[in-house]
Structure formats: structure tokens, C-alpha cells
Copies of this chain bind each other. A is one copy, B any other.
Amino acid sequence: MIYPKILEELIEYFKKLPGIGEKSAERLALSVIESSEDDIKMFSKTMIEAKKNLHPCTICGNLTTEKICSICDNEYRNNKLICVVEDYKSIFAFEKMGKYNGVYHVLNGLISPINGITPYDLNIDGLLNRCKKEENIELIIALKPSIEGETTTQYINKILEKTKVKVSRLSYGLPVGAELDYLDSLTLERAFEDRKNI
């Protein structure tokens, strides 16, 4: 064993984190033991508190330390416009965009028969309840462009077909800055299908 046992253990913990390989884990572990004991204690405390205090918003499923998240609780946001997302991480991506003024609904997954995930495993009932509570609800389904994403989109659209809820999905097409000759054919096909009049 090259490293002292306790350091080896610390490296193992870092290696469990996403995107951290052997080399990075070693670098991170060594940098930790080079920081002050107070810093390490504060870091640990923050990790444990974040884990303890963060839970899903009772309305939309976003991460929050309160009962209702800061987005649902914001009276300046349009709560008749609901963006339906797979998980709370998508919310952060949309919030960074900074152009969306509606609220969100987290499904906690996508329909995937191959992995045994049915519509009943997702937070679709919660979505239907929200659609019933208010009038003139508009849904923007923002799921990833995969078989599971599309199945889930179609499923939600289907069950809301006979209601007055307006449903749209994000457009498929060219990502900004893409080189056309490097794009996969499926993306190009979608960009053709979803083409827009100018």
C-alpha cells in the first residue's frame, strides 16, 4: 500500500463521487488534509446539514429547506405555467437560463418499461391535481429527448387530452454553436421535422 491506510480510505470516498477518477481523488484527498482542521470540520458540517435539511417542496418537488420552495413561494411567478421536469436538477438548469417566469413540477423519473418504471411510479398524480386546482393551466413538458422522455411526454399529453390544459414540449433541433457536419442524423432529422417558418 502506497498511501497510509486512512488516506487510502479518504481517496476511496472521493472516488465514489461522479467524474472523479483515481488521480483526481488522490489530489482532492491530499488537498483536504492540507486544509485547516476548522475548514474540514465546517465542510463536514455543511455536508451533513445539507443532507438533513434539504427535502422536496410539497408542491413541485424542487429541493428546499422549507415546506414550500422559493419558486412556488414567489408571488411574482406565474403559477398557471408549469414546466414539467424529470428531476430537480433540471430546475437549476432552467433557473440559470433566467428567462422562465413560471413554476415547475418534478416527476422524479421517466416512464421506462424496460427498467420497470410505470406512470404510477412517477409524480403524475400530483401534476393532475395541480391541473385540476387552477383554471387555464399551461404545461411545458421539458424532458430529455430519449425514448423514455418521449414516452412520458406522450403519456402526459394523452391523459390531459380531454381537459382544457394546454400542453407543449420543448423544441428539438440544432444546439446553438453546433457544427452541422458533426451532428448526429437523429438530431438533424428532428431539426427538419420541427422546422420553423421565418
Interface residues of A (CB under 8 A from B): 1-7, 9-10, 13, 16-20, 24, 26-33, 35, 37, 40-54, 63-65, 69-70, 89, 92, 95-96
Contact = CB atoms under 8 A, between A and B. Distances in A.
A45 B96 CA distance: 34
B54 A4 contact: yes
A7 B46 CA distance: 8
Nearest to A94: B2
A163 to B, nearest CB: 32
A41 B89 CA distance: 24
B95 A2 contact: yes
A10 B47 contact: yes
Contacts of A40: 47-48, 51
A33 B51 contact: yes
Contacts of A30: 89
Nearest to A48: B40
